[in-house]
A and B are shown apart, each in its own frame.
Chain A
C-alpha cells in the first residue's frame, strides 16, 4: 500500500494565540522589523565618532577652481 501522509486534521484556519487575527500578527512582525532597523541605525549613530569641527579640517587644501 502506498503511504500517504497523516491527514492534516488541523489544516483549517484557526486564530493565533495572541492578537486575535493572523493579519494583526503579520503587521506586528513587520513593525517589529522596522523598529529593529531603526534601533540598529540609532545604535550605530550613537557610538560613531562625531563629525570633525570645521576648523579641525583647516589643513585640507582648498580644491582648485573652488570659490574662495
Chain B
C-alpha cells in the first residue's frame, strides 16, 4: 500500500461513518430505530439487502473460487430470483399487514409465544455465531494485506460499525450500505477492466475467453444431477431456492430490511431488484476470477498467494528446488497457452485438439508445482488471497486503497445488519416479551442501543479470539445451514396451513431440526439440501402432530 492508498482508505472509512451518523439522525423512537419509521425507498433497501448478504469473505473468496474451480458456483444463486418472487407474493404482504418489528413476532400472532421464543433463540444462536465470523474472516485477510495485527483490523471494523449502528439504528445501517454497495459494484468493474487491460498485446479478449474455456473456468451451467455435488443447476434451482427462501424470508437480518419500506410496493421492489441483480453480479465476480486466472498465464503469479506464508516458504531448505520447478512449469504453461490460442485462431481442429492436450498437461503440471510450494508451509489452500494478490500487485496507486476500502465496506455492511437485527430480536422478542412488558418507548430505545453495543462487542470478542477456535470456525459455517430448514418450515406452516396449530408448529420445528442433524451426521448429502429436508419434515410433522396435539390442548 502506497501513501495514496492509505489516504483513499482512511477517507472512505471516515466518510462511511459520518454518512451513517448523518443519515441515522432523528432515530429517537423504537419505530424509527428499528424500522426507520417505514420511510425507506426500494433502491436503498435493495442495495442494503445485497450488501448484508455479500460479506467481505464472499467477495474475496468468490473470485478465488473461480480462479481454482471455474464459474459453476454461480448456480448456487439460480434459486434466488424464484425465492424473491415467492416472498414478494406471500411473506412481504403478510409481515407488513401484521404490523410487526420482527418476523418472529408474527409467529406468536399465528401460533403461540413458545414457538416464537424457540425460533428467536434459533436465530440468535445462528446469527450470533455468524456475526463474529463475518468480522473475523476479513479481519485476518486485511491484517495480512495491511501488515497489521488482526486484533487491530477487527477492532477498527467492529468499532466503526458499533458507532454508527448504535446511534443511527437501521436508518444508519441501510443508508450507509448504499454508498458501500455502490463502491463495491464500481470497484468490481474496475478490477475486471484492469485484469483484461493487463493482458499482453498479442492476447485479445476473445483469446482470454478461449483460454478460460479450455481450462474449464467458464463452466457456469452443469446439467448433470448429483445429490453430493454442491453446484449443479438442480441443486442451485431447488436447494438454492429453499436456502434463499429461508434466508430472505425468515432471517431477521434480511426481513428487517424490507419491513422498513415506505409502502408494500417499495418492499416488494427491493426484493425484486435483488432477484434481477444478484445472479449477474455473482457471474461478474466469478468472471473476474476467471480473467485473473488467464492473466496469470502471462504474468507470473507468486507461488503462494498468502504473502506471509510466501516469506516463510523462502526459509524452507527445499525452497530453491521447488521454486525452480514452479518457474519452469509457469514458462511451459505460458508457452502451451500461446500454442493453444494460435491453433484456435487457425481454426484447425486437429492442431487445436493436440495443443489443448499439451496445454491441459502443462496446466496440471503447474498446479502440481504450486501445490508443492503450498506444502512447504503446510498450507493446502490460499484461495482467499488470490484476488487481493492481483489487486495489490497490479492495480495503480489509489485503486489498491479503494479495493481494500471495499473489503472493509463489505465486512462492515454485513456486520452492521447482523448486529442491528440481533439487537432488535433481543429487545422485541425476548426482553419486551418475557422480561419487561410495559415500559416506555424511551426505555426500549435505550435497551436497543445497549443490545446493539452488546452484540457489537460480542462480535468483536468472537472475532478477536477466533484464531484460537480453529475447527470451530468451520463448524460455525455448518451451523448456519443446520437451522434454516427448520425456520423455513415453521413459516411455511404459518403462511399456508391454517389448520396447523401451535403445538404442531413447535414439534414440527423440533422434528425438522432432528432430520437435518441426522442428514448432516450420517449422510453425505450436500448442505444445500438440508433446507429442503428440514422444511419438508417440519411441514409433514406439523400436519401429522397438529390434529392430535392441538385438539387435545383445546379440549
Contacts and interface: CB of A to CB of B under 8 A. Distances in A.
A11 B131 CA distance: 31
B78 A33 contact: yes
Nearest to A18: B269
A25 B264 contact: no
B209 interface: yes
Contact of B350 (A17, A25, A53): A53
B275 interface: yes
Given A4-B99, A30-B81, A53 B275 contact: no
Given A5-B31, A29-B81, A29-B84, A14 B265 contact: yes
Interface string A4-23: 11111011111111000010
A14 B104 CA distance: 26
Contact of A37 (B35, B233, B353): B233
A22 to B, nearest CB: 7
A5 B219 contact: no
Interface string B83-97: 011001100010011
B279 interface: yes
Interface of B is mostly: helix
A2 to B, nearest CB: 6
A16 B269 contact: yes
B220 A44 contact: yes
Contact of A3 (B31, B100, B206): B31
A3 to B, nearest CB: 4
A53 B444 contact: no
Interface stretch (B382-390, B393-401, B435-443, B479-487): B435-443
B474 to A, nearest CB: 30
B353 A41 contact: no
A50 interface: yes
Nearest to B340: A49
Interface stretch (B56-64, B210-218, B457-465, B545-553): B210-218
Interface of A: 1-8, 10-17, 22, 25-26, 29-30, 32-33, 36-37, 40-41, 43-44, 46-50, 52-53, 55-56
Closest 4 CB pairs of A and B: A47-B213, A10-B263, A52-B353, A56-B353
Given A11-B93, A14-B263, A22-B268, 11 more contacts: A5-B31, A10-B262, A29-B81, A30-B81, A32-B276, A33-B78, A36-B283, A41-B221, A47-B212, A49-B344, A49-B356
